[in-house]
Amino acid sequence: MLTLAAIKENPEEIIRKLAKKHFDAKDAIEKVLDLDKTRRTSQAELDTRLSELKTLSAQVGQLMKEGKKAEAETVKNKVSELKEHNKTLEANMKNAEAEITEILLSVPNTPCDMVPEGKSAEDNVVVREGGPMPDLGEDALPHWELAKKYDLIDFELGVKITGAGFPVYKGKGARLQRALISFFLDNAREAGYLEIQPPYVVNAASGYGTGQLPDKEGQMYHCNEDDLYLIPTAEVPVTNLYRDVIFNEEDLPIKNTAYSACFRREAGSYGKDVRGLNRLHQFDKVEIVQIQHPDHSYEALDEMIAHVQSLVEKLELPWHILRLCGGDMSFTSAITYDFEVFSAAQKRWLEVSSVSNFESYQANRLKCRFRTNDKKTRLVHTLNGSALALPRIVAALLENNQTPEGIRIPKALVPYTGFDIID
């Protein structure tokens, strides 16, 4: 969440920046500042009363020594009154602090200055593109038909077992999934990321730490009896490894990668845009996460973007990178770049990765800090990216590489699949 210090320093700037996300923050910011004034006033009065209480308590002891019991009783009564008043002041402070936190949890992160203006995905900006564009005939099949033809994925069986959005991978389809996971993890390790195997369920504190709660509560599967949530991405458990941690400055950066299944209740509308693997309730993804020094987080963002670009290039897929506009960004992000690959049979671009810098927004929720060499404490910056999400990568690989002989496997992936064609 936003820091109170940043809001107090320049509230008008915070309101202006949040307008780029089409969020009217004026009332919330004014309320926070009023509550902070109440808190500070109560604190100042409490400090005065505590000093007075200390003096009066000393007087009671002295009066008792002098045998002035009546006067001592009078002072004792004043002490009791002060203690009751102090309880009220402490309650006022706690209530103000709690209300400030509640409001700040509902306010999104401010976008950085590089974020373009815009209301929706149509306003996102293509910043880079590449890769060979396949030239398929008019009879090219979409991936859901290819999956059926080569017995790779059974969508109907998934519906029988669980419901829509939970496909069953079979034979070479299952092996392709496993190959991609290993390929992505190996590339991340080679890029300096430490592999983590996290839990697939998290507690509410973890959801609040990375910003899924309370903003995306309706999109997460909730285990009511235990009050646990199935993870929508490995970002949540991996970033929460560092909740309530204070690093030394020389410990930074921290770079982690993790494979996980991901679970998302919201699967969108019906139609061709969500057919097959285009949108699922459960899918596989490899995530990369960095805990960074604030001075270097944008260098790290460029590094992460280059890493994801290298993956889609090795998979020989046509790709482009979008810088998201303010209206299409997530609640927690300061800036986000989306990767899309072209699906030749569907003739549309499919999102396969988001790479984001959250600056100090998540870190403030997590209380993840570092101690500088001059012994001051600062919030870290957190970043994460998909490297990569599997479903739409698989969709593009199947469609773009279909030939009369079968589906060709990109050379970089053959050592992982153990086969170079699906026939």
Annotated binding-site residues for L-serine read 233, 264, 287, 384
Q: How far apart are CA 148 and CA 21, in angstroms?
A: 42
The DSSP code for 250 is G
Q: How far apart are CA 23 and CA 15, in angstroms?
A: 8
Q: Are 232 and 220 in contact (CB under 8 A)?
A: yes
* The two three-digit tokens of residue 192, written as one number: 């300096």
Task: Classify each residue of 308-335 as buried b or exposed e, where b means 16 or more C-beta atoms within 10 Å of its C-beta.
Answer: bbebbeebbbbbbbbbbbbbbbbbbbbb
Residue type, 38: T
Instruction: Return binding residues for ATP.
Output: 264-266, 351-354
Q: How far apart are CA 311 and CA 107, in angstroms?
A: 35
Number of neighbouring beta carbons within 10 Å of residue 359: 25
- The helix/strand/coil state of 211 is coil
Instruction: Return binding residues.
Output: 233, 264-266, 287, 351-354, 384
Main-chain dihedrals φ then ψ at residue 211, nearest 5 degrees: 95, 5
Ordered alpha helix ranges (H), 20-170: 26-65, 69-105, 143-149, 155-161
CB-count burial class (<10 Å; 0-12, 13-18, 19+) for 120: exposed
Q: Are 416 and 183 in contact (CB under 8 A)?
A: yes
Radius of gyration of the chain (CA): 28
The C-alpha angle 107, 109, 113, rounded to 5 degrees, equals 135
Strands (E), 293-397: 319-323, 335-343, 348-357, 369-371, 377-379, 381-389
